[in-house]
């Protein structure tokens, strides 16, 4: 298994541009989520999904859209980038109950560092 | 007031020392507790999880939960330079997968 993968690793945007951060997992995890990490603030939940076709908002959803058309992929879209969205973005997924996993808590991807100028 | 409070440090200790990390929380509905380790420019990795009050050991690591005081701790014994990282506490409600994180404590273990 490749685990949780994220692309790109780095991105620089100008204010007002849009882009999509990609997240994929090959572990058949139903639950996936997006967090942003800012200095001194830990990780804050942006959006999450409990399965294909089902998404919901987290703590800081404004300015971001998500969709979940497959179990494997959970892209995060920035509609009109703002400097306040400069952050490190992490995607995570969680195994379903009843499987052979050592833990049922969330596994994180390597992150995407986004700078908006 | 944040739901989860964690002293950001930084914390610098000599190799072999015991590292003690703490988080407090305000909502007694949190029942499941985790510690994640995050190396510089990497994603968080699950280090330990515990769902009950008391101690849980895994090698050099001990997670402690005191639900009556709303306080959790992580102890690292015989610390090594490879333990240098940011440690994040996280917690969630039963039957809810969303995690609430502390700000993270940056630890440096000096050789």
Q: With cut-offs at 50, 70 and 90, classify the pLDDT of residue B7.
A: confident
Lowest mean pLDDT segment, chosen from A39-43, B28-32, B43-47:
A39-43
A-chain residues near B6 (CB < 8 A): 42
Q: What is the pLDDT of residue B48?
A: 93
Inspect the interface and report whether the beta carbons of B6 and A42 lie closer than 8 Å: yes
List residues of A whose CB lies inside 8 A of any B CB: 4, 31, 33, 35, 40-45, 48, 50, 58, 90, 94, 103, 105-111
- Nearest C-alpha neighbor of B102 from the set B11, B12, B33, B29: B33
Pairing of the two strands B100-101 and B45-50: unpaired
Cα–Cα dist B75/A31, whole Å: 30
Q: What is the rounded average pLDDT of the residues B62-76?
A: 96
Mutation target to probe the B interface, by most B beta carbons within 10 A, among A5, A38, A42, A74 is A42
Q: Cα distance from A104 to chain B (closest Cα, Å)?
A: 9
Q: What is the pLDDT of residue B104?
A: 95
Could you tell me which residue, A1 or A45, shows the higher pLDDT?
Answer: A45
B-chain residues near A46 (CB < 8 A): none
Q: What is the rounded average pLDDT of the residues B46-56?
A: 92
Omega before B10 cis (within 30°)? yes
- Percent of chain A that is helix, strand, coil (3-state, to 5): 5, 50, 50
Could you read off the pLDDT of A33-71 as tens digits, one per residue?
A: 999 999 888 899 999 999 999 999 999 999 999 999 999
Chain B: residue whose CA lies nearest to A90: B43
Q: What is the pLDDT of residue B16?
A: 97
Could you read off the pLDDT of B76-103 as tens digits, one per residue?
A: 999 999 999 999 999 999 888 899 999 9
Inspect the interface and report whether the beta carbons of B99 and A103 lie closer than 8 Å: no
pLDDT > 80? residue B11: yes
In contact, B79 and B18? CB cutoff 8 Å: yes
Inspect the interface and report whether the beta carbons of B46 and A44 lie closer than 8 Å: no
**% of chain A with per-residue pLDDT over 70:** 93
Per-residue HEC secondary structure of chain B comes to CCCEEECCCCEEEECCCCEEEEEEECCCCCCEEEEEEECCCCCCEEEEEECCCEEEEECCEEEEEECCCCEEEEEECCCCHHHCEEEEEEEECCCCCCCEECCCEEEEEEC
How far is C-alpha A88 from the geometric centre of its chain's CA atoms? 10
Could you tell me which residue, B8 or A81, shows the higher pLDDT?
Answer: A81
Q: What are the phi and psi torsion angles at A87 (to 5°)? A: -175, 180
B-chain residues near A109 (CB < 8 A): 43
Q: Look up residue B34 and give its two tokens.
A: 């985790």
pLDDT > 70? residue B40: yes
């Amino acid at each position: 298994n490749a685990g949780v993968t994220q692309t790109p690793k780095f991105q620089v945007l100008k204010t007002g541009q849009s882009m999509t951060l990609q997240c994929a997992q090959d572990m058949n995890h139903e639950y996936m989520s997006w967090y942003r990490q800012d200095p001194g603030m830990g990780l804050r939940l942006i959006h999450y999904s409990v399965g294909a076709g089902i998404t919901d908002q987290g703590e800081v959803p404004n300015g971001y859209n998500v969709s979940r058309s497959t179990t494997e992929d959970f892209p995060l879209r920035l509609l009109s980038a703002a400097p306040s969205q400069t952050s490190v973005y992490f995607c995570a997924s969680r195994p379903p109950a009843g499987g052979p996993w050592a833990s049922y808590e969330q596994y994180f991807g390597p992150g995407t560092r986004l700078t908006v100028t | 007031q944040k739901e989860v409070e964690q002293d950001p440090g930084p914390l610098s200790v000599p190799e072999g020392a015991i590292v003690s990390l703490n988080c407090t929380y305000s909502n007694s509905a949190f029942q499941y507790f985790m510690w994640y380790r995050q190396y510089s420019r990497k994603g968080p990795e699950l280090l330990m999880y515990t769902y009950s009050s008391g101690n849980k050991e895994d090698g050099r690591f001990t997670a402690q939960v005191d639900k009556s005081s709303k306080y959790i701790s992580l102890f690292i014994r015989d610390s090594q330079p490879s333990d240098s990282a940011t440690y994040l506490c996280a917690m969630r409600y039963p039957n809810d997968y969303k995690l609430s994180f502390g700000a993270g404590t940056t630890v440096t273990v000096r050789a």
